[in-house]
Amino acid sequence: MEPSSSPEWAVLKEFTQDDLREMERGLGLSHFSIIGAMPRYPGKVQVRAVKMTFSSAHPSGGAARIRLSGLLLLPPTIDSARIHSQLLALPYTYVLNRQTPTQQIADYVPARLEAYMLFGILQASRGYVVLMPDYPGFGESFGQCAMPYVERRPMVHATIDFIRASQQVLQAMHYGRKRELTITGYSLGAYVATQTAREMETNASAVSELTIDRLWVGGTPCDLKRIADEAKVATHLPTPYLLPLAIHSYRRNGYPKIAVDSLLRSPYAEQLMSRFDGMNEAYADGLPTRASDLFTEAFVRGDADVSAPIDAILSENSLTPWRNRCAFVMLHGASDRTVYLDNARAYAERHQAGGGQVDFRVVPGNHKEAGILYYLYVILHLPEDRNT
C-alpha cells in the first residue's frame, strides 16, 4: 500500500467538563454518569477534537487518489514524558454525512451525538489518543465517492492510510504514544476493525511501527453471504436498508457490473442513488420489511444466474480467519436479527479451528441492545490510561 502523504490537521473543538456533562445529559445518561466519575485534567479543557485530512486511493480502484478525513480525540495536556495508549475506534453504520465523526464535531449538537462519539470522547478523557476515521464517501470526500460498505479492500486501505497519517499528525503535535494499538468497533465498525487487524497482523508492511494488543468487537458481520441468505427469506427485516446499501456500494466501487434490477424489486432498485446520497434523511422510509416484497423472486429463490454473481462478491468480502497474536474478543446479541448470531458463532469456530484464538461471548438483546452492552463492556474493561 502507498503511504499517506501530507496529512493536515486543525483543532475543531476543545471540550470542557461542562461540555462533557451536557453531552452525557443529551444522550439520556443522567442516571448513569460516566463523566462525573472521571478525574479532571488541570485547567478548563478536558478533551481536544482534531480534524485531520490525508491522501488515499479512490475506493473504486485505479491510480486516482482522494482526500479523506477523520478525528483525533486527544487528552488536552501534552507532556514529553507522557506516553499515551492508542485506540482505533471505528464507527458503526451511518448513512448521512451529518453522522460522520468530523461533521458531528463541526456541527456540534450534544443531543445528536452518536454513541461511538461519546465512547471516543470518554476514552480521550481517560488518557487515550483516540483515532476515529470518517468512512470514504463522507466528511472530506463527501460527493467524491461512495462508501465502500462491507467491501474489504478499500475499507482496509483507507483505514490503514488513516492510521499512518495519524501517527504523523500525533508526532507533529508532540504527543508521546505507545507502539501498541487497541482496535474496537461495533457492527460495521467491527467488520472494518477485524479486517484491518487481520491485514496488520498478516502483512508486516501494513503499519510496521505498530502492533495490535487488543481487538474487541461486537455485532460483527463475518460471513456476508450467510447473512444475505437469511435476510432475503426473512419475514421481518428490522433494518431493511442494509442489504440494498451493500448492493449499492458494491456497484459504485469495485463491482460496477452488478445488475441491481435482478436483485431488488422496482421501484427500490431505481431508488438507490437517491436513498443513499448522504443527505436523504428519509433513506429508510418506504422500504418493505418483508424480504419477498423487497427482493426479486429469482434472488430469493437463489437462481444461479441471479445469485451467483452477488454470492461471489459477498464471499470475497467476508472475513477470513487468521492466527491472531492480539487478544481477540467478540460479543454478539443472542436475539440479533440484523447481523445474525449464527454467522458470528460459526466464524468464531472456524477461527479457532484454523489456529486462531478468540473469546466469543453471547450477550442478551437484539442488535441495538447488544450494542449498548458492547460499549459498556469496553468502557469497563479498558484500563485507565493516565495519572489520577
Rg (C-alpha) for the chain, rounded Å, is: 20
Q: Which helix (H) or strand (E) holds 123?
A: helix 115-125
Give the pLDDT confidence score for residue 266 in this predicted structure: 96
Is it the case that residue 383 has pLDDT exceeding 60?
yes
pLDDT over threshold 80, residue 29? no
Which residues are within 8 A (CB) of 379 and not within 5 positions of it... i.e. 6 or more apart? 34, 119, 122
Average pLDDT over residues 57-85: 90
Say if residue 84's pLDDT is above 90. Answer: yes
End-to-end Cα, the chain, rounded Å: 40
- Assess if CATH 3.40.50.1820 describes domain 8-222+319-381: yes
Mean pLDDT of the chain, nearest integer: 93
pLDDT at 38: 67
C-alpha to C-alpha distance for 43 and 27, rounded to whole angstroms: 25
Domain boundaries, the chain: 8-222+319-381, 224-316
Distances (CA, A) of 218 to 193, 325, 381: 10, 19, 14
C-alpha cell at 298: 429469482
Q: What cell does 113 get?
A: 451525538
Distance, CA of 21 to CA of 117 (rounded, Å): 14
At 124-155, the pLDDT tens digits run 998 999 999 999 999 999 999 999 999 999 99
Separation of alpha carbons 122 and 378, rounded Å = 11
pLDDT at 145: 94
pTM: 0.95
- pLDDT score of 387: 56
> What's residue 2's pLDDT?
44
Outline where DSSP puts E strands in 40-175. 45-57, 65-74, 83-90, 129-133
